[in-house]
Structures are given as structure tokens and as C-alpha cells.
Structure 1
Amino acid sequence: MSNMMIWVPVMGIVALVYSFWRTSWISKQDEGTEKMKAIGQHIADGAMAFLRAEYRILAIFIVAVAVLLGLANTGAGKSPLVAVSFIVGALTSGLAGFLGMRVATKANYRTAQAARTGLSKALGVAFAGGSVMGLSVVGLGVIGLSVLFLIYREIFSDMSMVMSVLSGFSLGASSIALFARVGGGIYTKAADVGADLVGKVEAGIPEDHPLNPATIADNVGDNVGDVAGMGADLFESYVGSIVGSMVLGATIMVSGVLAPEFVFLPLLIAAAGILVSISGTFMVSVKEGGDPQKGLNIGEFGSSAIMVVVMFFMITQMLPATFIMGGIEYSNYGVFWATTIGLLAGLGIGFITEHYTGTGTAPVNSIVSQSQTGAATNLIAGLGVGMQSTAIPVLI
């Protein structure tokens, strides 16, 4: 089992290689007219300027917190290496946001140019840009966690100590996610509202019109909030779920089940998920005049079905058939059903979200119909549908 752990960082490298390959493909696509390229370059310059300013401030915060973590973990049963995990987690999270930002600013105007030729081409460019962000997140997350885990396994003999030190990685990722999501979100909303007030209200210029200079800031905000911020948020959630599962595995070991597979398994499943996700990207396509959402759903549901099969074989082959914890006997099938239900819950929440926000659905149409009588009824209907939309996901 320990030998299999070597393949985890290898799968992370595969994810990064795929991301770089897709980035190279995007760079070769038609950039469009000179005006499109100029506007796209302005957006890219603004996005990177924001990211550099944000990361400079974050660097001070990360160093300060790392020093405090190192000083606070010098006693018996502790290790200052948790500060190293914290720094690595913050760096990989920031790098994921940087890579996603670079490809997003490349893909946006290339997608616009592709849309002039057809829907299928436009979806291909846009989806390729999104896949780079996703695979960069999982690749860097898996590499960072697995490499630190393998190093700490050689330093500490106690698995609980390994997980205690490794948890700093998740804390570092969460710190970047907090600042990137909130900071980027504030900038996004400020730029959006400012551009609308100056353009539509004061000057009478249509929304997102290139004659309004604030439109550039608005589009920069979309990138820093919805790409870098969302990427850091996704990285934090992804890493946190893996670390949480590994901590549960270490708890099972402490309870007397001497099977390190419980700790290894979350990382191995994540590594297998990289290959399944890459295969899922090749399932996404749409015909001219078709529904892009259906093409995306095929890739999502197809890769999920493959992942269920992969998890079944991994869990049943790696974990003991039965184990006792807290005086209660459990089976490896219980672990499989727990992971499968979690996967289905994620799909279900996505489906419900699509129902309440998708074009032409009943909830959206109800808001549209209320808009005919004024802004007040539009706000009330939107607020009501928004509150209603949380009910089923909470139950799931």
C-alpha cells in the first residue's frame, strides 16, 4: 500500500501536464480582431495587477501566521513543521489561482471569436479554459498533500502526529481562500455597480459597452472574483475534504484497527479521480443549435458513473472486509455507500441549482413574470425563489 502512495503525486503531475497542454491549445486559437485583442489584453493586465497587489499583502499575512504557528507548536507532542504545511498550502492555493487567472484571460476573447463561427467551437474553448482551472486545483492539491504526507511519514512514527502536522496545509489553503474570495468579491461588486452607475445611469451607455472605461474594471472583477477567488475556494474545499477523511482514517487506526489503508485511501481516490475527470472532459461536446448544458451534464454524469465503479473496487480491495470501532462492527461496503451517497449528494445539489437558475425553468419564469409589474415585485419574487431554493439542498 505504501508503494501505491508514490502514484498519488504522479497523478497530480499528470493533471498539471494536462492543464499545460490545454493552455497551449487555447493559446493557438484565433484571437479575433485587433479591437478584441486590445480589450482582452486590458482585462488581462488589470486582473494580473489586482492579483499581484493582493498576493503582496497576503505574503505578509502568511509569513506572520507561519511564525506564530511555529512558535505555538514547540512543546511535547507538537511540531513546528505545521508552519511548513501552512506555507505550502498557501503557496499551492495561490498558484492555482494564478494559473486559472492566466488561462481565463486568454480564453475569454478567444471564446468570443469562436462564438462568431459556431456554438460547438465556443463551448470547446470555454470548457478548455475551465478544465485548466479545475485540473490545476486538484493537481496542486494532490501533489502538495501527498508529498508532505510521504515526508512526514518518514519523520514521525505516530499517524496521529502526521495528520496533526499535515492539517496545517488545509489551514493555509483556507487562509488564501478567505482573502481571495472576499477581496475579489468586494472588488467585483464595486466595479460592477460603479460601471453601471456611471454608464447606464449617468451617461446612458448600454451595459458592458466598450465606450465605458469602467467596463474593463467590471470584467477584471469577474476574473478576480469568479476565477481566482472561486479557484482558491475550490482548492480549500477539495483539500479540506481529503484531510478530513484522512483524519477520520487516523482516528480509526487509533481506535485499534491497525490498517493504514484508512489514511491512504482518500488520497488514492483523489488520484484516481484525476484520471476519471480527464476522461470526462472528452465526453463534453455540443452540436450546433444544441443545448450546451446537456453537453456539460453528459461529461459530469459520465465521469461520476465511472468514479462510482472505480471507488467500489478501490474500497473493497484496500480496506478490510469488516472492522470494529467503538464496539461496533462495520464493513467496507459501508464506506463505499458513504462515499457514493456523498457523490450523489453533490450531483443532486448541482441539479437543484440548475433547476432554480437555468434559462426557461419554472422558478426563473416566475421571476420574469413578476418583473412585468415593476422592480418591487421582481425583488420580492427573486428573494422568495432564492430562499425556496435552499430547502432541498439542506435536506440533501
Structure 2
Amino acid sequence: MQRFLTDYGIATSLTLGAVGLAGAIHLIRMVNSSDAGNDRMTEIAGAVQAGAKAYLHRQLVTVSIIATILFFAIGFLRDWPTAAGFVLGAVCSLAAGYIGMMIAVRANVRTAQAASVSPHSALRVAFNGGAVTGLLVVALGLLSVGFFFRAVEEYSGDTRVAINSLVGLALGSSLISVFARLGGGIYTKAADVGADLVGKIEQNLQEDDPRNPATIADNVGDNVGDCAGMAADVFETYAVSLIGAVLVGFLTAGADAREVLIYPFVICGVSIIGALLGIGFVNFTRLSPTRALVGGVVISGVVSAALLKPVTSSMFPQAIDFSGKLVGASELFNCVLIGIAMTFAAVVITNYFTSTAHRPVRRIAEACNTGHATNIIAGISTGHHATVLPVLCIAGSIWMCYSEAGLYGIAIAVVSMLSLSGIIISLDAFGPITDNAGGIAVMSGLDPSVRKITDELDAVGNTMKAVTKGYAIASAGLAAMVLFGSYVEELKAHLHQNFVFDLMDPRVMIGLFIGGLLPYSFTAYAMDAVGSAAGAVVREVRRQIEAFPGILTGQETPDYRQCVDIVTKAALRQMIMPALLPLIFVVGVALIPEHGLYLLGGVLVGTIVTGLFIGIAMTSSGGAWDNAKKFVEDGNHGGKGSPAHAASVTGDTVGDPYKDTAGPAVNPMIKVVNILAILLIPILFR
């Protein structure tokens, strides 16, 4: 068994990746075969599809120009296999987001129609639409990394060349993820905030009222931000974690310990089986939506752990020497369990801080009774409180994994955590599908009972989106630790000596300050972009309502295209500067003569620490504000139209760029900084 897994482990994993891809294709057919409703519903859904497709095409053109420049820079300055990896990572990241989004915009109208039949039917259609994205992420991630590694290794005949070229793939996927997260986030939140400020507060219109000129842009934004953006984000995290584990294994155990390089692929392949079983559980269970979705995660995690126990024992019958530390099967499997436990911890903790069933959200809703300011204060404090438990869990995981198996143990925990992405991302994409379904139900004039069902699912979806963002950021914290360790090990290999970062060295301390600054500057640009674009939407919606009074009476149709065009141009224009900030910081620091490498080590650690706190705080605050608004709209504290409702809308609009633009974009930004630092080492030591 050991011989088989060592010789054919990657091939077996790639086969399981193909099975995951086949599962995604099957779900696509299931979603497309569902009833799409009446002509009015398909017309509205068509407008959302067209807007989403047009935006992604324009984003592709913008990103391609930057990617082409970087491709040639990497090729000339480092090597062409790494440049080829960069292109592959970028293409697969885009593909995961694009395909997942196009299925989501087809699932939304079918979810609305299914909600007219039963809540469970709507749950199944929405979840299966989201599961397409989840399976695509893990299948494409595993297939792209595995095939590229094998191809370069066989072509060059050198394992180190193959592993080094994977750094390019990681950078390509990370860079595209930053653009997708920022561009999609700016688009969706500018439209959402603009629609709410005029529609809900000034004109007292309900959510997704067809008289609101920004409502189509809002629905388009849910898909380009929450579907395409999240898919690219987690594809990047998944691929980077897998690559990081292979790199750490090579640097600490050497190329002769082949099983160390194969094991991360096997973990990802086996976990696809767990994801498929978890998806099946959600489809066939009759539990409530929350219990069904969480149950799917539990099934996936338990099955994956059960399958990996004998696999790990078979692959490591004897201890492996990791830089002087002997590590066996039991230690590695303990790291797998720690990674899976971290997934459950992220789900439970984020659910507590963002669900309407728990005190933090209800405390924010209660604060709405005393005004807008107290609501904002309560939301910000909730986000800050929400950092404590995740950070303690991350710190504890690092400590335990390092004690068990050193840096490689941390890498294995990250891979096992990310290997559950197939089911976790299904939960995230479920949210925007149910949100859009509610919008289509209102705009097409379906019975109010349909909107009631989609709203209940949307409230669950909001919590699930917050949960998956917490999961992504927590995994990024662990993954960044692995990447920083890889940076140090690469320096040792190139300097042929022990390389230590001393906190008493002023260069390291200065680097820490510069790195700590980067997430603040990055999120500031992202927030500014949303505020600026939302202001333009507000002005356009006001203009249309004033110029055409018949819009509010239903006698005239709003010009939806104007708002779509405004947010499209704003997102594409304003995503560039913050997306390039990590490159500017890292390259600028690295090129400082004599001191750059010491400064850069501090930059990496500073970025990880402050980025982790900012990301968790922003996503938790935003999710809590959103669900506090929904809690009020459900009839609590005066319900819709009350002063508390107006205050809750303010909190939601502030929280929108927190949770869907700036906060989640910190995740890939952290990894871009670390990957770019690793990529620069051979260039600087030529």
C-alpha cells in the first residue's frame, strides 16, 4: 500500500479530482433542468446574467494587461516554467469564479420558482447551485497543481525545478484573487449601498423593489462579488496551501522523502469523497436549513478524517527526518485532525457572532433603538470581540502542529483545513443565490409567501457567508505562517547558512511596522472605492426619481443600465491601486541594498498579524450588522419603517464594504505578499 501511494499517489488524487469535476457537471445538469419559472422571471434573470457576464469580460481585459506584463517579467527575471505556472494559476482562478458565477445566476431564478413549491425544494436548488462552485474550486485546484507539478518534473527531470515553478502558479492564482475580490466587492457593495440609501431610507421602498433604478446592479453585484470573487479567493487559498505544503516538505525533508511531497495531494483527493457525501446529505435530509448545511460540513469532515487515518498509516510506516525532527504517521494524522477541528471551530465561532439566533447580533439590533451611532458602535465592538477566539485557536493550532511535526505539521493542518473547501464554499455561494432569488420574486410579482421563504434562506445564507469568510481568513493565517517559514527556509538554502530574524535588529522592527501598515492602507483604498462608487449610484438614483416621477408610481421603467454602467466602470478603475499595493511594498522593500531581506522578513510577519485581525474584525462586524437588520425587518424592535429599522440599514450599509470588499480581500493580499517574497529570492541571489 505504501509503495502504491508513493508511486501513484498524485495520479490517484488527480483521478479523485476528476470525480469531483464530474460531480460538478452533474450538479450543473440538475440545476439547469429545474423549472425556471414564468417569462417575467426569466427576463429579470436574463438581465442579471447579462450584467454579470459583461462585467467579468471587462474585468478580464483589464487584468489580462497586468498579467501579461507580469508573465514576461517573471519569465525574463526568473524562468519560463514559473511564468507558465503564473498563467495557469491565473486562468484556473478565473475559470473557477466565472463558471461558478454563471451557474449561480441560473440557479437564482430556479430557486425563486422552487420556493413557490416548498422551502426544501428551494434549499436544494440553491445549495446545488453553490455546490457547483465548491466542487469546481477543489477539483480545478487539485488538477491544476497536480498536473503542472507532474508535467514540469517529467520535462525537466528535476523535482526542485517543478516545485519552484509551483510558486508561479501560486502567485497567479493569488493575484487574480485579489483583483476578483476587490473588483467584485467594489461592484456589489457600491450598488447595494447606493440602492439601500435612496431606496430604503429616502423613498421607503422594500428590498429589490423594481422601482429602484439600482436594483439590477445590486443583484448583478451579488454574483460578481460573492460568487466569482469568493470562488477565486478560496481557489487561491486552496492551491497556495497545497503548494506551500509541498514546498515545505521539500525544504525540510528533501526530495528523497517522496511520500512527504505526495501526502498533501492525497489529503486533497480523499477529501473530495467527503465533500460529495456532504453534498448528498444536504440534498436528502429533511432537517432545517441551518442544521442541514452544518450537517453536511460535519459529514464531510468526519468521512475525510476516517479515510485519512489508514491512508496516513500506510504512507508513513517509518518516521521521516524533518531537519533533525523524526515524525511518524501518528504525528501527521494528529495535524490532520487539528486542521479539521480548526474548520469546525471557525464555523462555530463565526456563526455565534453573526447569526440572528445569538446574542451579538441581537445586541446590535437592540442598539438600533437608540439610534444610528449606537448601532455602529455595537457593530464595531462585535467585530473586535470576534477576533479573540479565532486568533487563540490559530495560535493553539500552530503550537500543537509545530510540536507534532514542525513546520510541515502546520502545512498539513492547513491542507486538511482547506481540503474541506468543497463543502464549505457550497455554503458561501448558497447565500447570493437565495438573495437574488428573493429579488427576482419581488420584481416578478410572485406571491409574498415566496419572498418569505427566500428571506428565511437568505438569513441562513448571510450567516453561512460570514462563516466561510471566517474560515478563509483563519486558514490564511495558518497558510501565511507556512509561507513565511518557506521564505526563511529558501533564504537558508540560497545563503547556505542559518538565517535568523532577530527582533532586536532595527531592520526587522522597521519591517514589522511597514508590514503592519499594509493591510490598513489596503483596506482604506478598498473602503474609499466603495464609498465613492456608492455616492455616484446615489446621485444617479436620485436623478432618475426626480426627473421621472412616474418611476415611483410604476408608470415608467427605471433605466437600470445607467447604474450597472456606473458601478462597472468604478469597480474596474478603482480596484487597480489597492491590488498593486502588495507588489509595490514587497518589491520596493526587497530592492533596498544590503538590508532588503531583513526588512522583508519583518514585512511578512507584520502583514500576517495585522491582516488577520483586520480581516476577522471586518467580516464579523459586517455579517453581524447585516443580520441585525434582518432581525429588525422580521418584526423585532418596531420592524420595517421604524426608527430602529432606519438605524439598522445604516449599520448594514457601513458593514457591506466591511464584509464583502475590504475584509475578505485581505486574505489573498496576505498571501500575495508572502508568495512574491519567495519568488524574489532566486532573482536577488543570481
Q: TM-score, normalised by structure 2?
A: 0.55
Q: Which moved more, 1:5-14 or 1:222-231?
A: 5-14
**Residue aligning to 1:63:** 68
In structure 2, runs of 5+ residues without a counterpart are 1-5, 394-686
Match of 1:27 in 2: 32
Seen in structure 2, the aligned counterparts of structure 1 residues 363 and 202 have a Cα distance that, compared at 3 Å, is: closer
Deviates more, 1:148-157 or 1:171-180: 148-157
Distance change in 2, residues 1:285/1:19 (3 Å): closer
Q: Secondary structure at the match of 1:329?
A: strand
**2:80 alignment counterpart:** 80
Tell me, in whole angstroms, the C-alpha distance in 2 between the residues paired with 1:149 and 1:182.
29
The more displaced of 147-156 and 102-111 is 147-156
> Could you tell me which residue of structure 2 aligns to residue 270 of structure 1?
268
Aligned-partner residue type, residue 5 of structure 1: I
State the aligned residue count. 388
Partner of 2:313: 316
Question: Does the Cα contact within 8 Å between 1:120 and 1:286 map onto a contact in 2?
Answer: no
- Taking the aligned partners of 1:136 and 1:252, their CA distance within structure 2 comes to 31
The answer for the alignment partner of 2:230 in structure 1 is 230
CA offset digits 1:191-243 (Å, max 9, x no partner): 11222233234444323211213100011111100000000001000001101
Any idea what SS the aligned residue of 1:212 has? coil
What amino acid sits opposite 1:70 in the alignment? Answer: G
Q: Deviations over 1:329-373 (max 9, x none)?
A: 222211111121011112101111111111221211111222122
Give the aligned partner of residue 160 of structure 2. Answer: 160
Cα distance in 1 for partners of 2:85, 2:326 equals 35
- Higher RCO (CA-CA < 8 Å; seq separation 6+): 2
Amino acid at match of 1:63: T
Higher helix share: 2
Corresponding residue number in structure 2 for 1:76: none
Match of 1:134 in 2: 134
Summarize deviations over 1:299-332 as a string: whole Å, max 9, x none: 1111101111112112111124212233332222
2:411 maps to: none
> Residues 142 and 325 of structure 1: is their aligned pair in 2 closer, same or farther, counting only changes over 3 Å?
closer
After superposition, the Cα gap between the structure-2 partners of 1:88 and 1:287, relative to the gap in structure 1 and judged at 3 Å, is: closer
Q: 2:354 — aligned with what? A: 357
Deviation at 1:182, TM superposition (A): 0.5
Counterpart of 1:300 in structure 2: which amino acid? Answer: V
Flag structure 1 segments of 5+ consecutive residues without an equivalent. Answer: 74-78
Q: 1:395 aligned to 363, 386, 392, which one?
A: 392
**Secondary structure of the equivalent of 2:256?**
coil
1:88-121 superposed Cα distances (whole Å, 9 cap, x missing partner): 1100110111111110000111111111211111
Contact 1:252–1:262 (CA<8 Å) still a contact in 2? no
TM-fit CA distance, 1:286? 7.6
Distance 1:285 1:13 in 2: 22
Against the structure 1 CA distance between its residues 253 and 326, is the aligned structure 2 distance closer, same or farther, given a 3 Å change threshold? closer
Other-structure match for 2:18? 13
Query: How do residues 287-366 of structure 1 correspond to structure 2 at under 5 angstroms?
Result: 291-366=288-363
Q: Is the 8 A contact 2:81 2:152 kept in 1?
A: no
Contact 1:19 1:136 in 2 (8 A): yes
Q: Does 1:53 align with 2:58?
A: yes
1:376 aligns with 2:373: yes
Cα distance in 2 for partners of 1:276, 1:287 equals 16
Say if 1:281 and 1:299, in contact at 8 Å, map to a contact too. yes
1:101-120 superposed matches below 5 A: 101-120=101-120
Partner of 1:261: 259
Percentage identity across paired residues of the two chains: 37
Deviation at 1:154, TM superposition (A): 1.0
